[in-house]
Amino acid sequence: MKKEDVAKEIQERLDSYYPEVPVPLDHHDPYTLLVAVLLSAQSTDKRVNMTTPELFALADNPFDMAQQDAEDVRAIIRPVGLSPTKSKAIVNLSKILVEKYDGKVPEELELLEELPGVGHKTASVVVSQAFGQPAFPVDTHIHRLAYRWKLSTGKNVQKTESDLKKLFPRSDWNKLHLQIIYFGREYCPARGHDPRKCPICKDFGRKSLFN
């Protein structure tokens, strides 16, 4: 099969497994989503969702967060890891949002990437999930599965993002990115993965998976 045909079949299977895909990070507006996604770096959504209620009780908007001491934020977010760096980023980006954007999260990918602690993946998640703009954020799950399914070379996340954007319809990127994440967690984990039992790898996985 051609790669395009494989991609189409994989998308159909993902649609059957996950016709609806809720955003896994708890939030109530673009700002709280931005903070939650920033916290999720090298952590888990479950851990972040256990941590953000206390953080957002302290401050759930950039005006209040900009007034906080980074050490107080750090004490709350310590369970998610990298708390010294993340706490400073949250407070500093909040100050920028207040001073430069009247407390609103910008909808432009490039402007988001200029904020402290906000990389391309984080910015892509925010524009797709908060503002509905087509984006294909690539996390470790998507990077791993795209390689396993021979949809990308696995060279780096930038290449994976580029390859996937070429294979799938732009209108489906936002949903697909979440579908692949959910599928990876449930059926195609990094460790202990049996490709013979995986609904997609068993048909489209790389031969090396079965060695």
Name the residue with tokens 């988001």.
112
Task: Give the number of C-alpha atoms closer than 13 A to the C-alpha of residue 34, restricted to the C-beta side.
Answer: 31
The torsion angles phi and psi of 130, rounded to 5 degrees, stand at -95, -35
- Dihedral (CA of 180, 181, 187, 188) sign: positive
- Name which of 59, 61, 70 is nearest 31 in CA terms: 61
Residues with catalytic annotation?
A: 121, 139
d(CA 13, CA 61): 39
Contact assessment for residue 113 and residue 120, using Cβ atoms and an 8 Å cutoff? yes
d(CA 83, CA 81): 5
User: Which residue stretches of the chain are H helix?
Assistant: 3-17, 30-39, 45-58, 62-65, 70-77, 83-101, 109-113, 120-129, 140-148, 157-167, 173-186, 201-204
